Amino acid sequence: MDKNKLSSVAAPPEQPRSVRLDQHDSVRSHVRQQISSEVERLERRIETLRLTRAPHAAIMISTYERMVDRKKGFLKNWDMQDVSAH
């Protein structure tokens, strides 16, 4: 057997770890912060699009609004609502 062939064999893939968002406060805080900043960014895009007269603006606004609703729903379902949003 050739030693070079053995060293080039890929290791088996790692098993994905189960992540529980409610397990660590630091994870919850990071996820809440990340999603909240994404929501803010999308809301700014929506406001910018409302000022444009591009024919595709209405479709993009609708899509961004659905994304915002889903992200806010995620935060609500995991009891991670942004404190400043209240």
For residues 21 and 27, what is the distance between their CA atoms, to the nearest angstrom?
A: 7
User: For 32-59, what is each residue's pLDDT tens digit?
Assistant: 999 999 999 999 999 999 999 888 999 9
Pair of tokens at residue 7 = 């060293």
Supply the mean pLDDT for the chain: 83
pTM reported for the whole predicted model = 0.67
For residues 86 and 83, what is the distance between their CA atoms, to the nearest angstrom?
A: 6
